[in-house]
């Protein structure tokens, strides 16, 4: 005879998930509900695994002896002491089996992981950072990448990815720019939608190859005061809605994201984790969000004061922080049981109501049912071993790396290099022979440096020479808290050695930029990554000058997590490639572009300023915002949407299908695009809109559509961009979202620069 719980309706897989949730909630004690709102991460070592990273039944029984269960387990990949895909799948199975069999009601746990640019685990396929993916302007590619990552993560036991980041990066001093898709809300929204669709598919989860996507950081995390991580965001309500909330709204509406992570920062004096207007009024009531909100790591604690990081001081203690977060609508506290340990006490004292816990627990249970975790919670270790890090996934990562590279300068058509005309090449620089994955990375099965990629491409036909040239910082690991600047004397000795090497070569490739320490998440005062300067760190500019002084042709290859003000390089180095961080296939991708096997088609997803003093530098500024500077230009060094090619394109015959429409009407802008050069290549055709006269000021231009084309020499393709109310509407002087009558400039071209755009005027009546 089955037990009462085994015969309960919530055990019946044929019932709808909502009915199963209702039945299960009615059976749960207050303590069991509170347990579903908690997670363990680093405490896995004390509660779930032994010193070798294997499941420890004795520890688990001691830690969870009251059989109340647990909501989530954070990052099982880092508990395994170097376990491969098979080992991690076996570990998650063992942990899951414990909670299913040793909690009173058999409620499974959700395992969450970091999947910013691939599953951050041993053996996971690593592809370009989001800022580099933004340069592809290719949502279909982004969807394919995260479909691949979802499979790699899910097959190892993961259920939720703490990705994608849909912050709009309008502050280049901020060390987390690399995690974003750039400075434009429309571009960020399209990439965010694609990432969500890749992770979740149709959200049925039947094939065990999809995971829950988590939009972060909600909201306005990308323009912190002074460029310092977690600082207040000081923006108007109109800017908040039109710039920072827009990508979240679109990724929820069109992508169907199931989870949202609240942000560390405050908006108008209210931290996001204590903001009912943000998490309840806007997210749930206005937008109709039915999923669940997770806290950022330790952010509920920081509503009070977390000594190792910072505090908001809106709560007197952890109990008050718990109440604030629950009232705001934070469903689960990550990463450890901390403030939410007080949930039961606060309910019993009447500070909180049990129905509030019911409301927050229900959607998390719903998705546990919807993912099939109550019915079939285990994964196949053999399948994980077969798929994770496979060659097909590596090929997709290589495709993404090639498409991310942006050609900024190519004087005299120095690129592509022709191996038949080169006897020797010098590969110089601190980024020439080092791992360049960026933050939130795993350990891929292979990690090809620039030097290795060039040597693999050229074989024995060309003599490939190498010298480090100088260092950026000592060590340079993302995990390494202390940042030690390089020694000037040692750098100059290395530069002298590099000159000797470079003089023996026919051409020089110098790999410079930043490293994982000079741009990263500043998660504490001891682990910083924001900078007041955007200049090259250390003696890198001296190295470039020394290379140019040899008289040899020089190609600069940049690797960095945020824009760098490369004024000298831009003015003096004839060929420049912006690579950001390209993932495990870095060297192969760079070599393919250097030697013409692939024609670069990347476009800048963020403006490159002339200096930190030129900030803000985003292109979609207000009409009065860029009047000029004494003794300097006000324009960026390189504009949003800019990128060159080894071929040339002509955009012609720009016209409107209907030059006049009603406010609720629709039309199209059309154009012909021709590859006028001698190579096949890609071009990103971009459409911008400007409301010429409006009741509240509008940006001088806003990206509203784009399309990436690959054309053969002489080939012409036609593009048509829809223009509807959603491309023209804004929050007017009364904060109503409307289309106002009047003239709109519709601009079509190859970048946000006026010189690259053709304009037509649309009349709206």
Confidence of residue 2 (pLDDT cuts 50, 70, 90): very low
First to last CA, the chain: 73
Cβ-count burial of 58 within 10 angstroms (0-12 exposed, 13-18 middle, 19+ buried)? exposed
What average pLDDT does the segment 457-476 reach? Answer: 96
Tokens of residue 444, six digits: 């891929």
Q: What is the DSSP letter of 599?
A: -
Query: Would you state the pLDDT for residue 166?
Result: 98
Which one of 184, 296, 433, 447 is the catalytic residue? 296
Domain boundaries, the chain: 397-614, 649-764
**Of 383, 382, 397, 517, whose CA–CA distance to 118 is shortest?**
397
Q: Is the pLDDT of residue 647 over 70?
A: yes
- State the DSSP code for 300: T
Helix-strand-coil split of the chain, %, nearest 5: 35, 20, 45
Per-residue pLDDT tens over the stretch 422-464: 999 999 999 999 999 999 999 999 999 999 999 999 999 999 9
Residue 615 dihedral angles phi and psi, to the nearest 5°? -80, 145
Nearest to 122 by CA among 344, 428, 436, 445: 445
Indicate the angle between helix axes 318-328 and 354-370, nearest 10 degrees.
60
- Picking from 332, 359, 378, the residue whose alpha carbon sits closest to that of residue 97 is 378
pLDDT, tens digit (0-9, with 9 covering 90-100), for 295-311: 999 999 999 999 999 99
Strands 667-675 and 716-723 come out as antiparallel
Q: Residue 1: is its pLDDT beyond 60?
A: no
Predicted confidence (pLDDT) per residue in 114-149, tens digit: 999 999 999 999 999 999 999 999 999 999 999 999
β partners of residue 214: 259
Answer whether residue 470 shows pLDDT above 60.
yes
Q: Is 184 a catalytic residue?
A: no
pLDDT of 491-505, one tens digit each? 999 999 999 999 999
Contact 293, 234 (CB under 8 A): no
> What is the pLDDT, as a whole number, of residue 658?
98
Place of tokens 């004024």: 567
According to CATH, the superfamily of the domain at 397-614 is Glycoside hydrolase family 3 C-terminal domain (3.40.50.1700)
Which tens digit of pLDDT belongs to each residue from 570-622?
999 999 999 999 999 999 999 999 999 999 999 999 999 999 999 999 999 99
Q: Are 222 and 264 in contact (CB under 8 A)?
A: no
pLDDT at position 60, please? Answer: 97
pLDDT value of residue 3: 52
- Cα of 679 vs its chain's centroid, Å: 32
Mean pLDDT of 653-679: 98
Angle ∠(612,613,616) on CA atoms, nearest 5: 75
Q: What is the pLDDT of residues 292-350, one digit of tens each?
A: 999 999 999 999 999 999 999 999 999 999 999 999 999 999 999 999 999 999 999 99
3-state secondary structure of 762: strand
Per-residue confidence band for 642, with pLDDT thresholds at 50, 70 and 90 = very high
State residue 478's pLDDT score: 85
Token readout for 489 is: 């004397």
Measured from the Cβ of residue 627, the count of other Cβ atoms closer than 10 Å reads 7
Bridge partners for 511 per DSSP: 557
CA distance 447 to 450: 10
What does the block give as tokens for 490?
């040692």
Contact call for residues 219 and 245 (beta carbons, < 8 A): yes
Rounded-to-integer distance, Cα 291 and Cα 200, Å:
13
For 649-764, CATH gives: 2.60.40.10
């Amino acid at each position: 005879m089955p037990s009462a719980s085994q015969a309960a309706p919530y055990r019946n897989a044929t019932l709808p998930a909502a009915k199963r949730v209702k039945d299960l909630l009615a059976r749960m004690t207050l303590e069991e509900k509170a347990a579903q709102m908690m997670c363990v991460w680093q405490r896995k070592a004390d509660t779930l695994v032994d010193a070798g990273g294997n499941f420890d039944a004795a520890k688990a029984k001691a830690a969870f002896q009251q059989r109340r269960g647990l909501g989530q387990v954070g990052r099982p990949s880092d508990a395994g002491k170097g376990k491969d895909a098979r080992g991690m799948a076996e570990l998650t199975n063992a942990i899951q089996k414990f909670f299913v069999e040793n909690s009173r009601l058999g409620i499974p746990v959700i395992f969450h992981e970091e999947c910013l640019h691939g599953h951050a685990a041993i053996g996971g396929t690593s592809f370009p950072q989001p800022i580099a993916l933004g340069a592809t302007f290719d949502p279909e590619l982004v969807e394919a990448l995260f479909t691949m990552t979802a499979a790699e993560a899910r097959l190892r036991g993961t259920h939720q990815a703490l990705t994608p980041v849909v912050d709009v990066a309008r502050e280049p001093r901020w060390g987390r720019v690399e995690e974003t898709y750039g400075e434009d809300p429309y571009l960020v929204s399209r990439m965010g939608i694609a990432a969500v669709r890749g992770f979740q598919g149709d959200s049925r989860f039947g094939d065990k190859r999809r995971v829950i996507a988590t939009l972060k950081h909600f909201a306005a995390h990308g323009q912190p005061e002074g460029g310092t991580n977690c600082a207040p965001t000081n923006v108007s309500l109109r800017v908040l809605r039109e710039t920072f909330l827009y990508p979240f709204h679109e990724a929820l509406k069109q992508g169907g994201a199931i989870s949202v992570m609240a942000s560390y920062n405050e908006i108008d004096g209210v931290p996001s984790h204590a903001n009912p207007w943000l998490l309840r009024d806007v997210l749930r009531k206005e937008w109709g969000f039915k999923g669940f909100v997770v806290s950022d790591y330790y952010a509920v604690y920081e509503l009070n004061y977390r000594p190792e990081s910072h505090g908001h001081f809106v709560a007197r203690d952890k109990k008050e922080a718990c109440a604030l977060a629950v009232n705001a609508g934070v469903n689960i506290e990550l990463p450890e049981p901390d403030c939410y340990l007080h949930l039961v006490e606060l309910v019993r004292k009447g500070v909180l109501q049990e129905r509030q816990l019911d409301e927050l627990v229900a959607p998390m249970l719903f998705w546990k049912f919807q993912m099939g975790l109550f019915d079939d919670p285990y994964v196949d270790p053999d399948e994980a071993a077969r798929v994770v890090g496979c060659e097909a996934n590596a090929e997709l990562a290589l495709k993404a790396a090639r498409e991310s590279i942006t050609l900024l300068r190519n004087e005299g058509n120095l690129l592509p290099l022709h191996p038949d005309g080169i006897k020797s090449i010098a590969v110089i620089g601190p980024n020439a022979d080092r791992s360049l994955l960026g933050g939130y990375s795993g350990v891929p099965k292979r990690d090809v440096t620039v030097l290795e990629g060039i040597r693999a491409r050229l074989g024995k036909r060309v003599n490939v020479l190498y010298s480090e040239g100088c260092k950026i910082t000592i060590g340079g690991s993302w995990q390494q808290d202390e940042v030690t600047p390089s020694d000037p004397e040692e750098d100059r000795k290395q530069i002298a050695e590099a000159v000797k090497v470079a003089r023996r070569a026919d051409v020089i490739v110098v790999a410079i930029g930043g490293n994982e320490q000079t741009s990263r998440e500043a998660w504490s005062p001891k682990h910083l990554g924001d900078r007041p300067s955007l200049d090259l760190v250390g003696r890198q500019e001296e190295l470039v000058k020394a290379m140019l002084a040899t008289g040899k042709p020089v190609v600069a290859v940049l690797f960095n997590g945020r824009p760098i003000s490369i004024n000298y390089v831009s003015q003096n180095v004839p060929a420049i490639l912006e690579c950001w961080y390209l993932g495990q296939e870095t060297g192969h991708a760079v070599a393919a572009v250097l030697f013409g096997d692939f024609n670069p088609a990347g476009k800048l997803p963020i403006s490159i300023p002339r200096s930190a003093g030129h900030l803000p530098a985003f292109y979609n500024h207000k009409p009065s915002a860029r009047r000029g500077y004494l003794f300097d230009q006000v324009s960026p060094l390189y504009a949003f949407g800019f990128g060159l090619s080894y071929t040339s394109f002509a955009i012609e015959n720009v016209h409107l299908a209907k030059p006049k429409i009603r406010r609720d009407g629709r039309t199209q802008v059309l154009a012909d695009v021709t590859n006028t050069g001698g190579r096949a290549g890609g071009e990103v055709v971009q459409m911008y809109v400007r409301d010429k006269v409006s009741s509240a000021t509008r940006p001088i231009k806003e990206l509203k559509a784009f399309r990436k084309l690959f054309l053969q020499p002489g080939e012409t393709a036609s593009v048509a961009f829809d223009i509807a109310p959603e491309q023209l509407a804004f929050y007017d002087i009364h904060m109503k979202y409307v289309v106002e009558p009047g003239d709109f400039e519709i601009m079509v071209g190859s970048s946000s620069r006026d010189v690259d755009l053709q304009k037509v005027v649309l009349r709206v009546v």
